[in-house]
């Protein structure tokens, strides 16, 4: 049984071979004035992370044999005592003051989720790429289904009791963050906006998503597609699949169909047919020659042309 401790915010940081950036992530959480706990779960690192963590103060640390980030996050959540929780990848970092600002907002607005913007940080050249200022969201699920700017969990503070209803899903390991946000959205949380930037989503060569190749790429696509089938199915069953939500989903399903078509053209065509069932007025987003090809020649023929083009470039 979890020990009851009066904590305002739990910060859960899963890590694997990220000693080069983990101290930065941790330090970005230390200056909060509200009562916080920083929970680090080392997922079997081999770069000295665990030895380093054991020498640090003010942290709650756990070690597990390498099982993947999803299991590490759930392990941290089991220990979390905060009224609210935020998740921070060990290569990203927060803006000073955002923990307090979002916590106070959550309390004053009685919100189940507080969100702010997220900027990009290039690890190679140390440049910050500012993102557009967020406006209040009318429909959290519509935003998440469209996977538009600002929908990254780095910028969010969650109500812990709600998070426990939708723990991270190992069966969607390559897209579990998207699944989590969508399932959280199904709970219909009360949301509140804190203007400004919450943290920096760091771009670097070792980033997990950037290294998906071969079967990992296709498994990722399969998981992504099945997430949308499940979430849209749940919404339809409950009479909550609005046209705006359908349209948002189509903006993600179209590029997903393109990636699936590289190896599985038949399945990709099924996705395209589903898009037009969801939104008969769907407009192909590509412009110029490629957009003309899709419009005039159709998805199947255009993908065949693209496949030939890729083969010639190799």
Q: CA distances (Å), 94 to each of 98, 166, 176, in order?
A: 7, 24, 21
- 257 Cβ contact list (under 8 Å, min separation 6): 268, 269, 271, 272, 275, 299
pLDDT digits (tens, 9 = 90+) for 99-141: 999 999 999 999 999 999 999 999 999 999 999 999 999 999 9
Say yes or no to pLDDT of 159 above 50: yes
Say yes or no to pLDDT of 1 above 60: no
User: Which ranges of the chain does DSSP label H, i.e. alpha helix?
Assistant: 22-27, 49-54, 69-79, 98-109, 140-146, 160-163, 176-186, 214-237, 243-261, 265-278, 288-297, 299-313
> What's the confidence (pLDDT) of residue 43?
97
- 229 Cβ contact list (under 8 Å, min separation 6): none
Mean pLDDT in residue range 176-192: 96
Q: What is the pTM of this model?
A: 0.91
Distance CA 293, CA 152 (A): 33
> What phi and psi values does residue 90 have, to the nearest 5 degrees?
-70, -10
Mean pLDDT in residue range 187-205: 96
With cut-offs at 50, 70 and 90, classify the pLDDT of residue 18.
Answer: very high
Rg (Cα) of the chain, in Å, rounded? 21
Both structure tokens of 174 = 């390559």
Q: CB-hemisphere CA count at 13 Å for 22?
A: 25
pLDDT digits (tens, 9 = 90+) for 23-33: 999 999 999 99
pLDDT digits (tens, 9 = 90+) for 31-81: 999 999 999 999 999 999 999 999 999 999 999 999 999 999 999 999 999
With cut-offs at 50, 70 and 90, classify the pLDDT of residue 88.
Answer: very high
Say yes or no to pLDDT of 211 above 50: no
Tracing tokens 């597990």 back to the chain, one arrives at 64
* CB contact at 8 A, 88 and 11: yes
Q: Chain-wide mean pLDDT for the chain?
A: 93
With cut-offs at 50, 70 and 90, classify the pLDDT of residue 4.
Answer: low
Distance CA 314, CA 308 (A): 10
> What's the confidence (pLDDT) of residue 241?
98
Q: CA distances (Å), 170 to each of 74, 177, 256, in order?
A: 10, 10, 21
Mean pLDDT in residue range 255-273: 94
| Size of the chain in residues | 314
């Amino acid at each position: 049984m979890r020990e009851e401790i009066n904590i305002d915010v739990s910060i859960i940081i899963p890590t694997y071979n990220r000693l080069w950036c983990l101290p930065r992530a941790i330090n970005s959480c230390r200056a909060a004035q509200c009562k916080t706990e920083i929970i680090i779960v080392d997922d079997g690192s081999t770069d000295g992370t665990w030895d380093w963590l054991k020498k640090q103060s003010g942290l709650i640390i756990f070690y597990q044999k390498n099982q993947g980030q999803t299991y590490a996050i759930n392990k941290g959540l089991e220990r979390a005592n905060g009224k609210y929780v935020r998740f921070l990848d060990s290569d990203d970092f927060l803006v000073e003051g955002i923990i307090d600002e979002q916590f106070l907002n959550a309390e004053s607005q009685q919100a189940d989720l507080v969100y702010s913007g997220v900027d990009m940080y290039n690890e190679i050249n140390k440049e910050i790429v500012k993102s557009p200022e967020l406006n209040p969201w009318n429909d959290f699920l519509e935003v998440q289904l469209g996977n538009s700017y600002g929908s990254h969990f780095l910028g969010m503070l969650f109500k812990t009791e709600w998070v426990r209803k939708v723990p991270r899903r190992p069966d969607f390991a390559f897209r579990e963050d998207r699944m989590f946000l969508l399932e959280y959205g199904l709970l219909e949380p009360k949301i509140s906006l804190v203007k400004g930037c919450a943290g920096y989503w760091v771009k670097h060569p070792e980033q997990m998503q950037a290294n998906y190749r071969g079967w990992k790429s296709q498994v990722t696509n399969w998981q992504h597609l099945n997430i949308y089938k499940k979430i849209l199915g749940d919404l339809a069953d409950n009479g909550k699949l609005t046209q705006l939500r359908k349209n948002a989903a189509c903006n993600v399903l179209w590029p997903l169909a393109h990636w699936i078509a590289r190896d599985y053209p038949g399945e990709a065509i099924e996705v395209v047919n589903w898009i037009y069932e969801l939104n008969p007025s769907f407009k192909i987003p590509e412009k110029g020659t490629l957009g003309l090809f899709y419009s005039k020649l159709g998805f199947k023929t255009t993908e065949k042309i693209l496949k030939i083009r890729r083969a010639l470039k190799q």
